[in-house]
Chain A
């Protein structure tokens, strides 16, 4: 069964550094998403991406964040100048033909900023 994969599973970085979280969505999916979940809190929407551009983003997704689909298979989330409060689990998801289709989630990347 096709699945969404994410790398790395755990990333530790120092405050102020840049990190890139990687996701490989299901191959025939067209919509891609990033979410985050701070430990003990609810999941929060960051951004959705379709047709090589951001389709929607939340208030959280400010200039510190960017997304890219560099090569037609990977979908990346870049966090510049990381802060302690960026420590969270970051989930990637993809969905099929239209945005309201069922989403398939990756296993998540745990980001720890020290």
Chain B
């Protein structure tokens, strides 16, 4: 049973394109995290959401608690955005991770 489902699994975009990565989940959460994993393996936290919408630079994350769905948007994508983007749930006593979306942005 997968508590977290991400789509798409893989995504290739041209530089400048608007990108959307989706995350659906099936459990109650206290927070949802979007993480970025670089090709070298390091993990960076992008957002922590419990409701609504957050924006950092070209990144926007939204969450709909009723629909158990979150999206990560990247505006004006750039090759340096190429990475694996991971949706992770904090249920209050457990953490569940999605399998990640591998994004490649082509110049």
Contact = CB atoms under 8 A, between A and B. Distances in A.
Interface of A: 33, 35, 37, 42-45, 48, 55-56, 58, 89, 91, 93, 99-105, 107-108, 110
Query: Majority SS of interface residues in chain A?
Result: strand
Contact of B96 (A45, A56, A103, A105): A45
A89 B42 CA distance: 10
Contact of B97 (A33, A45, A101): A45
Contact of A44 (B33, B44, B97): B97
B99 interface: yes
Nearest to B29: A100
Interface in B23-69: 30-31, 33, 35, 41-45, 47-48, 50
Nearest to B38: A107
A104 B45 contact: yes
B100 A42 contact: yes
B95 interface: yes
B90 interface: yes
A102 B45 contact: yes
B94 A100 contact: no
5 contacts: A101-B48, A102-B47, A104-B45, A108-B42, A108-B43
Interface string B61-88: 0000000000000000000000000101
A43 B100 CA distance: 9
A48 B96 CA distance: 13
Contact of A89 (B41, B44, B45, B100): B41
A108 B44 CA distance: 12
Given A100-B30, A100-B50, A105 B45 contact: yes
